[in-house]
Amino acid sequence: MQTQRVIRQVVSNPLIAVCQLTNTHDKNRNIEKAHELISKAKDHGCKMIFFPECADFIGRSKDEALKLAEPINGETMKTFRQLAENYKMWISVGGFHNKKSEDILPANTHVIIDDNGQIVIQYDKLHQFNIDTPKVRLLEREFSSAGNQLHPPVETPVGKIGLNICYDVRFPELSYFHRQAGADILAFPAAFTVPTGMAHWEVLLRARAIETQCYVVASAQYGKHTDTRSSYGHAMIVDPYGKVVAQCSDREGLCYAEIDLNYIKEVRQGLNMIGDRRGDLYTTYYKQKFPTEGVDATFADKTIPASSVFYRSRLSFAFVNLHPLVPGHVLVSPNRVVQSIKDLTPAENADLFNTVQVVSNVVLEHYKAESSNIAIQNGADAGQTVPHVHVHIIPRKHKDFGDDTDNMYKELAEHETKRPQQTPEQMAEETAIYRKLLYP
């Protein structure tokens, strides 16, 4: 009976394929090889296949790389999308030279395509690899633009996947971001150089798996691409306990592994690394913004309608003021109802004041102001009338409160009902202005 239970569990675990390729400047040949591997993975019963960085090509020079780059709606990505639909398989295109504009260098974009051929997420590589030594010279900044946005893990048939690319593996904060956002798998498509790969590749991948308790899926480029560029290879899959469960040989091909979501739970229950973190002593701040439409906010015992909320971070929200002192006087509060600053966690504190900075910058720019008051009335004796921490952002102009700039504090201390009240329509209009600026 026990054996039968194990067999059913293994059968139900989705199978993935991880690619190792030696791509060149020949995009047609690279696509042909990708097609062959997708077909092979399908024959093995895989639900998803992972291609490495530079899945489209590796140029022989900077000029050639720029010339061969395509937009996301170009022929290369159309072909990958068609293959996903034809074979009914999810595809991770681990690195694509994404030509977004003639004015900027292409992005290095990790694309996930579903089994209907639809793009479900795009991630632009955040950390650029720039090395210039007697043995290796590869400056990614010369032919690629860095990304500037964090993306939460994406739901797939094999689990929730956190997207990374190559050099990102050296920055554990990004892996932890994915873990705390619910990732089961961390994908690290790569084109590691031979010297750095020999020294660090497996060590880094296993470390990321151990510290996040996630599967790590690392597709890789391998071998000689041009006269001046070679890659380390060793595409592999690491389980959430840090064991290498599959690895490619020193050639182009695939390795396979089952993703056992129950095993992830078992590892995490046995060693609760997230729960054991000392959030009272340290934190890691991630600059994220979340949708505001249709999501009300709680402000003490009041409900702030979504039509008045114009920005959301992971732990805070910003909203327009019913009784503003001046145009642009807005408020920022933590999501959790907390009466005093002393009760904020380090994570809430970091998120709150980083959100204040983001919002303040936009408000000042919109109202063409160079100064502002950032004020907190922390406790009743300081004038706090709502028992929920909130930060006032007040853009200032020359003599806007008379000759004494501190008159602002006197007016702020007066009860808000003495100030003019905005109509719901005015507040919604103001909200729309800030949303447009913060969510371009």
Residue positions forming the annotated binding site for substrate = 321, 377, 383-386, 392
- Burial annotation 297-314 (CB, 10 A radius, 16+ → b, else e): bebeeeebebbbbbbbbb
Residue 36: partners with Cβ closer than 8 Å, 6 or more residues away: none
User: Both tokens of residue 145?
Assistant: 């633009």
Q: How far apart are CA 120 and CA 108, in angstroms?
A: 17
Dist CA 15 CA 40 (whole Å): 13
Residue with tokens 């983001």: 358
DSSP string, 314-331: SSEEEEE-SS-SSTT-EE
Place of tokens 């380090």: 346
Report CA dihedral (359, 365, 371, 374) to the nearest 10 degrees.
-10
Catalytic residue among 97, 151, 388, 390: 390
Show Cβ contacts of residue 346 under 8 Å, excluding neighbours closer than 6 positions: 279, 280, 281, 282, 283
Rounded to whole angstroms, the Cα distance separating 89 from 85 reads 7
> Smallest Cα–Cα separation from 21: which of 231, 277, 221?
221
Residue numbers belonging to the annotated binding site: 321, 377, 383-386, 392
Q: Is 127 designated active site?
A: no
Please enumerate in sequence order all residues whose Cβ is within 8 A of that of 112, keeping only pairs 6 or more positions apart, or say none.
90, 91, 92, 93, 119, 120, 121, 154, 156, 161, 163
Which residue from 365, 427, 353 is spatially nearest to 390, judged by alpha carbons?
Answer: 353
Question: Are 322 and 422 spatial neighbours (Cβ–Cβ below 8 Å)?
Answer: yes
Which residues are tagged catalytic? Answer: 390
